[in-house]
Amino acid sequence: MPDTVATHSVGIVSPQTFHFDEPLVLASGRSLSQYDLVVETYGVLNEKKSNAVLICHALSGDHHAAGYHHEDDKKPGWWDAYIGPGKPIDTDRFFVVSLNNLGGCNGSTGPGSTNPETGAAWGNDFPKLRVRDWVNSQVRLADRLGIYQWAAVIGGSLGGMQAMRWSLEYPDRLQSCVVIASAMKLTAQNIAFNETARQAILADPQFFDGDYLAHKTYPKDGLAVARMIGHITYLSDDAMGKKFGRELKSGSFEQGKDNPVEFQVESYLRYQGDAFSQTFDANTYILMTKALDYFDLAREYDDDASKAFANAQCRFMVISFTTDWRFSPERSREIVNALMDANQAVSYAEIESNYGHDAFLLPNTRYEQVFRQHMNTLDLNKASS
C-alpha cells in the first residue's frame, strides 16, 4: 500500500462472506438452493440506514472496489479512484457495499463452486444468469444488511445495467441511480465481440466443454485471447496509438536481417491476457458476457423504454465518455431520451476522455466533479424503512 495515497484511501479492508439458504429462483426457471455472496463494505452505516450505496460491478470486476487487502498490495481495488474519504463516493459520508456477483470467481457462488447436489464443481452446469438474477440476489443482501432504500445504486457498463434494473424492479428501494458508460441493450457489433471472445475459450482444447476442473486443467490460452479481444475494445484507437504507436519491443526491420520482430502493443496485449487468465475463470467469463448479451431493458415492457422507465421513482445520473465506442455516448443518450420521455428526473454528462470504455475506471477531473456533485445532493435524512 503506497504511503502517499493512504490519506484518501479506505485503507486495509477485508471481505466478508454472507451465506443464503433460501432458494433463489432464476430468470431461466432454474434455482440456486443456497449460495454465498462475498462482500466488502467501506464507511459506516448510519442509524437511519439511509446512507448506503450499492456498487454493481462490470464484466471482470469483483467485490474489491477500494482499499488494499494487505500492507504490501501494490494495487488498490478496481474503483479506488472514486471510492474513499473525500472522493466522489465519499466514505466519510456513505456506507458503501460492494459484492462479487453470483456466477463470479472471487468467492461468491459460481461455476467453480461445489454443486451441493453432486459434490463436484458446477462447471458448465452452473445456471445461466441474467442481470435481474443479480439484482434479486442484491436485494437479499440489502435485506440482510437491514438496508431498505439505497441512497444510490451505482454501476458502470454491465454494472449500469444492474442499476437500471433496480430502478424498474424495486423502484422504492433506491433514491438515485447512477448509470455510467452503459446501454439499455447491446448492439449486434457488441454481441459479436463477446461471441468472438467466447469462441476463443471454446476453441481451447483444455476447455472440455466447461468441465476443465474435473479434468484438472484450465483453458488458459483461450481465456487470454478472449481478454485480448475485450481489451482492444475497451481502449480507443487514439489511446492505443499514443501509448504504443508502432514501437518495437524487440527485433528490427533492418534490410538483410531476418530476425523476429515484436511490436510493443503485441507484448502488452499478451501480458494483459496472461495476467487475466491467471486470476479469472473461463466459465465465469462466458456467463458474464452472456448476461451482457441477453440484457434488454425494455423486453418485458413491449420494447418501449419509456414505458419501462415509467415505473421508476429515483433520480438518474447518466454519464458517458466521448471516445468510448464499446458503450458509446449514443447508447447513453438513448437512456436519457427514454427517461425524459417518461418524465423522470435525469441529468446527463458526456465526459471528454481519450481512454475509451476504460475511462469510467480512470481519474478524470470533470467526471469526478459531476459524480461528486450528484452524490452531494443525495438526502441522507430520509429514513430507510
Partner 1 sequence: MNMRNDLSIIQDWLKPNSRALDLGCGDGTLLAMLRDKKNIEGYGLEIGADEITACIGKQVNVIEQNLDDGLSNFADNSFDTVIMTQALQAMRAPDLVLDEMLRVGKECIITFPNFGHWKARWHLAVNGRMPVSDLLPYEWYNTPNIHFCTFNDFEVLCREKNINTLNRQVVADGPLAAFKDIRPNLFGETALYHLTR
Alpha helices in the chain (DSSP H): 131-145, 158-169, 188-202, 220-234, 237-244, 264-279, 282-294, 305-309, 329-341, 365-376
**Least spacing, CB of residue 177 vs partner 1, in Å:** 14
Q: Which residues bind partner 1 (CB under 8 A)?
A: 315, 317, 333, 336-337, 340-341, 343, 345-350, 366, 369-370, 373-374, 376-377
Nearest to partner 1 of 101, 149 (CB atom): 149
Nearest to partner 1 of 181, 317 (CB atom): 317
Nearest to partner 1 of 219, 329 (CB atom): 329
**Of the residues 221, 324, 332, 384, which is catalytic?**
324
**Least spacing, CB of residue 376 vs partner 1, in Å:** 7
Distance separating alpha carbons of residues 316 and 374, to the nearest angstrom: 9
> Burial letters for 28-49: b for 16+ Cβ neighbours within 10 Å, e otherwise?
eeeebeebbbbbbbbbebbeeb
Nearest to partner 1 of 213, 297 (CB atom): 297
**Of the residues 57, 63, 64, 357, which is catalytic?**
357
**Least spacing, CB of residue 365 vs partner 1, in Å:** 10
Nearest to partner 1 of 227, 315 (CB atom): 315
Question: Is 172 one of the annotated active-site residues of the chain?
Answer: no
Nearest to partner 1 of 9, 176 (CB atom): 176
**Least spacing, CB of residue 323 vs partner 1, in Å:** 15
Residue 361: strand, helix, or coil: helix
**Least spacing, CB of residue 36 vs partner 1, in Å:** 38
Q: At what angle do helices 264-279 and 220-234 cross, to 10 degrees?
A: 120
CA end-to-end span of the chain, whole Å?
38
Residue 78: strand, helix, or coil: coil
Distance separating alpha carbons of residues 227 and 221, to the nearest angstrom: 10
**Contact by Cβ (8 Å): 314, 176:** yes
Question: Is 70 one of the annotated active-site residues of the chain?
Answer: no
**Least spacing, CB of residue 50 vs partner 1, in Å:** 17
Nearest to partner 1 of 264, 347 (CB atom): 347
**Least spacing, CB of residue 315 vs partner 1, in Å:** 7
Residue 308: strand, helix, or coil: helix
**Of the residues 108, 157, 332, 353, which is catalytic?**
157
Give the phi and the psi of residue 64 in degrees, each rounded to 5. -85, 80
3-state helix/strand/coil string of 268-288: HHHHHHHHHHHHCCHHHHHHH
Q: At what angle do helices 131-145 and 158-169 cross, to 10 degrees?
A: 70
Comparing C-alpha atoms, which of 79, 136, 130 is closest to residue 103?
130
Question: Is 303 one of the annotated active-site residues of the chain?
Answer: no
Catalytic residue positions? 157, 324, 357
